[in-house]
């Protein structure tokens, strides 16, 4: 009888373990910056935007219909954090820029206006923390001195 109980317990253990693991929410974190040089990437002249709105959206991989969405606002350092309570293993999830509070830096930077995020535990990642690449808004005109700054990044080429 005790062997049968041990066998049953071993069979049910993965079910209970999966239930416990999936009850932990993902902690999604990223930053939003102002591309003050219109470089298309972060530079030493980059500033970070407080009060910017971002959104994570998960789409069905086959129908591309929206399955999940959640918004957040950046703090004083341009950092946002979201708690995503469920696994989105069969979905395509991306963080996107929604709005900048800075009228001088409000144009989403092409190619840096979204970031793919993995929101599943079915991928070998052991923790609940997820990080999105930094996303940026661009100014209408670069700051003075940006040409020299950008040139300095390519000085060794």
Who wins on pLDDT, 7 or 69?
69
For residues 101 and 74, the answer to whether their CB atoms sit within 8 Å is no
**What CATH class does 25-153 carry?**
mainly beta
For residues 97 and 137, the answer to whether their CB atoms sit within 8 Å is yes
Average pLDDT over the chain reads 88
Q: How confident is the model at residue 1 (pLDDT cuts 50, 70, 90)?
A: low
Selection from 146, 149, 150, 112 nearest residue 36 by Cα: 146
List pLDDT tens digits, range 80-96: 999 999 999 889 999 99
Label the pairing between strands 26-35 and 135-138: parallel
Stretch 92-117: mean pLDDT: 96
* Rounded distance between C-alpha atoms, residue 135 and residue 79, angstroms: 10
Q: Which residues, 6+ apart, have CB-to-CB distance to 31 below 8 Å?
A: 48, 74, 77, 78, 79, 80, 134, 135
Residue 156 has pLDDT above 90, yes or no: no
Stretch 97-118: mean pLDDT: 96
Stretch 114-136: mean pLDDT: 91
């Amino acid at each position: 009888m005790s062997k049968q109980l041990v066998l049953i317990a071993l069979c049910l253990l993965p079910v209970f373990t999966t239930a416990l693991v999936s009850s932990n929410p993902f902690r999604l974190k990223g930053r939003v910056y102002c591309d003050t040089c219109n470089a298309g990437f972060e530079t030493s002249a980059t500033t970070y935007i407080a009060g910017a709105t971002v959104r994570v959206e998960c789409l069905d991989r086959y129908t591309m219909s929206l399955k999940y969405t959640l918004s957040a606002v950046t703090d004083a350092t341009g950092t946002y954090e979201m708690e995503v309570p469920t696994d989105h293993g069969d979905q395509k999830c991306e963080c996107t820029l929604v709005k900048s509070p800075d009228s001088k830096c409000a144009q989403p930077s092409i190619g840096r206006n979204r970031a793919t995020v993995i929101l599943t535990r079915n991928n070998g990642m052991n923790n609940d923390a997820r990080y999105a690449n930094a996303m940026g808004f661009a100014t209408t005109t670069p700051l003075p001195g940006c040409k020299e700054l950008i040139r300095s990044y390519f000085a060794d080429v």
